[in-house]
Amino acid sequence: MEVLVVNIQGLSTNPGDLPNLHNILKQAHDSLHAESIRLLPLLDMLDPSLHSLGYLYILEACTSSALSKEQASAVVLPTARFMNSCSKEQIQLAPEKFISVCKRFKDYVMQLEAPMRGVAPMLAAIRKIQSSSEHLTPLHPEFLVLCLLSKCYKAGLSILDEDIFEVDQPKDLLLYCYYGGMICIGEKRFRKALELLHNVVTAPMSVITAIAVEAYKKYILVSLIHNGQFSTSLPKYTSSVAQRNLKNICQPYIELANSYTTGKIADFETVAQKYQEKFDNDNNLGLVKQAISSMYKRNIQRLTQTYLTLSLQDIANSVQLNSAKEAEMHVLQMIQDGEIFATINQKDGMVSFLEDPEQYKSCGMIERIDSSIQRIMALSRKLTTMNENISCDPMYLAKVGRERQRFDFDDYDPVPQRFNI
Amino acid sequence: MDADDETTAAMIDDEIYANGGGEDENRNRPIISGEPLDVEAYASLYGGRTKISRLLFIAEQSRGCRNEAMELEALRMAYDEVKKGENTQWFRDVAQKIDGRLGPEYQMDLAWCESVDRRAEQKREKLENELNAYRTNLIKESIRMGYNDFGDFHYSHGQLGDAFKNYVRTRDYCTTSKHIVHMCMCSILVSIEMGQFTHVASYVSKAEQTQEALDPITVAKLRCAAGLANLEAKKYKLAARKFLDTGHELGNNYNEVIAPQDIATYGGLCALASFDRAELKACILVLLSFVFWNKVIDNLNFRNFLELVPEIREVINDFYSSRYASCLDYLGNLKANLLLDIHLHDHLETLYDQIRNKALIQYTHPFVSVDLNMMANAFKTDVAGLEKELEALITDNQVQARIDSHNKILYARHADQRNATFQRALQTGNEFDRDVKSMLLRVNLFKHESNQKQSKKS
């Protein structure tokens, strides 16, 4: 073992020696695994940032067998330090080991019931293993789970704001979007939540998974809260298994959505009451309550379209609230949240609805429009590049070549003969 | 211009009442007005099957309103009419409905039924033999007449489905366009009775294609039928146009389907519900021309005819000159009797709602602000109810305004196009963003899947 440590210390400094070191470590793999947790003291002799590769192998061997609680807590601290300070280049040589170490780290942190301890290290780990900010690693969903459990939603949001285009494993993406949706719901960013859940529901899949079902349930509820409506028809690009089966499995939610569109709060509440147990079991009861309050909001917003001033009593009557006082509270909350523009005259008990003061003339607005345009142009370019790439992809051409019609020999053949499979 | 129209109309009215005609002098009041319907006068406008179906419909409706006097009157007349014909099924129905309430002369007469049935059976056999003979002889014209006779036979016995089938069969044996037109007219008649207005529409268009054989009366009949078909299909604007195009040549020639004042009534109501102001003005002029021509042509009938037309014309005139209260009042008065009409019954509520909405919209259209109290007065309703109606119209985007509920004023509001455009542009940008990103993600996933499949294969 000491020989190994000396090698690590010696060969880690020079990047040219790294492949050599890597080979040595690979050969020592089995003997390391035999030692397992007894290797822990060796870590003290190594520096995680300089000797990252060696540190990684030893750490991986330490955690390869099941650990007791005390052993786990002993390992957690060095692992966290390692994840924060390891060197990116050395780690990239053995990514699977790194990922499995991080995953086990998450398990230990959960075992010790201190998910918050794992949030920062996991975030650092993601940055180290990501090839670009558009890359989704298997660590992303683990990170989001830790954020959810420790209620550090803002940390989760920082990752979610980055766009993902490259994916290693579809399952990672589904989990990522699902957990991401839940975090956004927690932070009340319903638009983003809707996007993420939509991605799960419409992802290509050959069998219905539990993730898709749960995501669909939340998708219905968030759609009601954010858009005020829900259409049961899924887009064309949804997989056929999803289109056929999701609706049947989530029947109570569809019924709830249908009663929302009638606009009658009493009806909606009856349906919610009817299936209360189911919603509770799925942990969606909070969302259902938010849907109810969103109904009140939507009704009040509709009033702003028809009235300039309206008495609080009339608002209470038309929105089916119990008293003018309740109406006042609702309106006050909506004004504070910026959902409507109004002023309340308490003396007369009247509310005056005002126009949206946004004139679209300010510098801020121009900047916003300009940045939107730039962003969309960039996206367009990306789309075109991807289109070109696929058109040149040999597999695609082979498939097209097989299925195209056979023209006359003299006709212009857009697909070269080479792909006549 | 309008003043002139009014005075000429008044003069004509005077002349009507002066002329009177040979019959009842005290029948000067309109036939359909606010007062209870004079069933006898109403029924005298029609002939053939529609007379009986209308009478039965009136009886049915009166029964619903518990107006026994009218119900019995209608049933009595229906009984008399049915007995003149050969439809024993109808006779049985009517006798059952009367239920002995009209005394011994209006009881079930089984003997009559049986004799009619026997005669019918004999006639049917005779017709069938003749038809078979013609068919073996392969003389097209006789076969056509044979099927036609069969159709007529079934029609008079109330077997509408068989009648229709037979009329349609004559199509293969029609040799001239006159035959085709005749076939179409018979089919249209039966279809109207059966209530299958899609057939009506198709046969009308078929008949209209044979231009040469059409005389003005037939053209008018076809337009009427087309109007009825549109009315049933709830295409009120088209129905109004067809009815108003019908023209005065129709006179009493189509009273087995429709009476001349029905054209004015149906056309007027549909026009009110669906025309804009320019078309409405033209409509008033057309209705006026009804007045003139019929007076000249048919002395006896114009009394019957014109008594309704002034009512409808008044209603439209009031609407056009923005006297909404009196217009809606008139309509309210007419409602009870119009509900007794077999074709209007199902559509009256919708038409009235549309007319009322149009009145509200037209009232608010020219103003920047409207005092709701004055408007409620103009429409003879209370402010709360008016507010509710306006709220519905605003939500429906038919009125561009906002209600100041505190001061009870309606302010016109025109959407700010510039802001709306900005909003839409930003929103479209966001949607594009979202859709393209998820699309790129999906492409990635697909590539993955196909890579996996490929690696599995190899």
DSSP B136-154: HHT-HHHHHHHHHHHHHHH
Contact A199 B419 (CB under 8 A): no
Q: 């231009």: which residue's tokens?
A: B211
B6 touches chain A (CB under 8 A): no
H or E element that contains A344? strand A342-345
**CB-based contacts of A204: which residues, under 8 Å, 6+ apart?**
A170, A239, B442, B445, B446, B449
- B360, two tokens: 């509200």
B388-425 tens-digit pLDDT: 899 899 988 888 899 988 889 999 887 788 888 998 99
B365 CA: distance to closest CA in chain A (Å): 16
| 3 state SS of B339 | coil
Measured in degrees and rounded to the nearest 5, phi and psi for residue A345 equal -100, 100
Do A195 and B448 make contact, defined as CB atoms within 8 angstroms?
no
Structure tokens, B189: 């008649």
The yes/no answer to whether this complex scores an ipTM above 0.85 is no
Mean pLDDT over all residues of chain B?
81
Q: How far apart are CA B75 and CA B106, in angstroms?
A: 10
Look-up of token digits 């939509």 = A198
CA distance B240 to chain A (A): 33
More confident position, B68 or B305: B68
**Number of helical H runs and strand E runs in chain A:** 22, 5
Residue B25: other Cβ atoms inside 10 A = 9
Q: Can you tell me whether residue A207 is helix, strand or coil? A: coil
Tell me if residue B325 falls in helix, strand or coil: helix
Structure tokens at B228: 């009825």
Instruction: Give me the pLDDT at residue B22, please.
Output: 37
| Most confident listed range (A32-41, B183-192, B332-341) | B183-192
Helix axes B197-209, B177-194, angle to 10 degrees: 170
| Side chain identity, residue B111 | A
Nearest CA in chain A to B394: A306
Q: Note whether A419 contacts B: Cβ–Cβ < 8 A.
A: no
Query: What tokens appear for A182 in the block?
Result: 């839940």
Answer yes or no: is pLDDT of B296 > 60. Answer: no
- Round to whole Å and give the CA distance between B241 and B268: 10
Residue-level pLDDT at A205: 83
Q: What pLDDT does A195 receive? A: 92
b or e along B389-419 (b: 16 or more beta carbons within 10 Å of the residue's beta carbon)? ebbebbeeeebebbbbbbebbbeebeeeeee
- The mean pLDDT of B34-43, rounded to a whole number, is 76
User: Which pLDDT score is estimated for A71?
Assistant: 79
pLDDT greater at residue B307 or residue B311: B311
B21 versus B57: the higher-pLDDT residue is B57
Per the structure block, which two tokens stand in for A408?
């006359």
Using a CB–CB cutoff of 8 Å, tell me whether B458 touches chain A: no
In this predicted structure, the answer to whether residue A208 has a pLDDT above a threshold of 90 is: no
Q: How confident is the model at residue B372 (pLDDT cuts 50, 70, 90)?
A: very high
User: Chain B within 8 Å of A170 (Cβ-Cβ)?
Assistant: yes
- Residues of B in Cβ contact (< 8 Å) with A383: 436, 439-440
Most distant pair of Cα atoms in chain A: their distance: 89
Residue B12 pLDDT more than 90? Answer: no
Task: Decide if A311 and B405 are in contact by the 8 Å CB cutoff.
Answer: yes
What per-residue confidence (pLDDT) applies to B15? 39
The model's pLDDT over B308-353, given as tens digits with 9 standing for 90+, comes to 567 777 888 888 888 888 888 888 888 888 888 888 888 999 999 9
Encoded tokens for A111: 């075992």
Segment A293-347, tens digit of pLDDT: 888 888 888 888 888 888 888 888 888 888 888 888 888 988 998 888 899 988 8
Mean pLDDT for the stretch of residues B85-111: 84
Q: What is the mean pLDDT of residues B84-104?
A: 84
Please give the single-letter amino acid code of residue A108.
Y
Q: How many angstroms separate the CA atoms of B37 and B308, rounded?
A: 12
User: Do B376 and B386 meet the contact criterion of CB atoms below 8 Å apart?
Assistant: yes
Average pLDDT over residues A397-419: 64
Q: What is the CA radius of gyration of chain A?
A: 28
Q: Does B411 touch chain A (CB under 8 A)?
A: yes
Distance separating alpha carbons of residues B185 and B48, to the nearest angstrom: 15
> What pLDDT shows up at residue A413?
57
pLDDT at B11: 44
- Whether the pLDDT of residue A58 is over 60: the answer is yes
Tokens of B198: 């899609």
Query: What pLDDT is stored for residue A339 in this prediction?
Result: 85
Q: What is the mean pLDDT of chain A?
A: 84
Chain A residues lying within 8 Å of B440, measured CB to CB = 165, 382-383, 386
Position B1 confidence tier, pLDDT thresholds 50, 70, 90:
very low
d(CA A106, CA A232) in angstroms, rounded, equals 38
Instruction: Determine the Cα–Cα distance for residues A187 and A177; give it in Å rounded to an integer.
Output: 15
Supply the pLDDT for residue A367. 92
d(CA A33, CA A97): 13
Helix axes A95-111, A52-62, angle to 10 degrees: 50
For B371, the 3-state DSSP assignment is strand
Q: Where is B352: in which H helix or E strand? A: helix B348-364
- Our separate counts of H helices and E strands in chain B read 21, 3
pLDDT at B9 (0 to 100): 44
Q: How many CB atoms lie within 10 A of CB A336?
A: 8
User: B444–A395: do the CB atoms touch at under 8 Å?
Assistant: no
- B250 has a pLDDT exceeding 80: no
pLDDT tens digits, residue range A218-243?
999 999 998 888 888 888 888 888 88
Instruction: Map tokens 């007379």 to a residue.
Output: B51
CB-based contacts of A92: which residues, under 8 Å, 6+ apart? A129
Cα distance between residue B143 and residue B135, in whole Å? 6
Indicate left, alpha or beta for A351 from its phi (over 0: left) and psi (-120 to 50: alpha).
beta
Name which of B405, B438, B449 is nearest A310 (Cβ-Cβ): B405
Q: What is the mean pLDDT of residues A108-129?
A: 86
- Please answer whether residues A173 and B447 qualify as being in contact, where contact means their C-beta atoms are separated by less than 8 angstroms: no
Residue B295 pLDDT grade (very low, low, confident, very high; cuts 50, 70, 90): very low
Q: How far is B425 from chain A (nearest CA, A)?
A: 9
Tell me the two tokens of residue B309: 């037309």
Concatenated DSSP letters for B388-424?
HHHHHHHHTTSS-EEEETTTTEEEE----HHHHHHHH
Mean pLDDT of A87-98: 83
Tallying the residues shown for chain A, one arrives at 421
Distance CA A200, CA A194 (A): 10
How many residues are there in chain B?
458
**Type of residue numbered B231:** L
Q: What are phi and psi of A216, to 5 degrees?
A: -65, -40
pLDDT at B35: 63
Give which of B369, B437, B458 to mutate to test A binding, by max A Cβ within 10 Å.
B437
Average pLDDT over residues A46-66: 80
Contact B63, B71 (CB under 8 A): yes
If you average pLDDT over residues A104-114, what whole number do you get? 85
Give the model's pLDDT for residue A404: 64
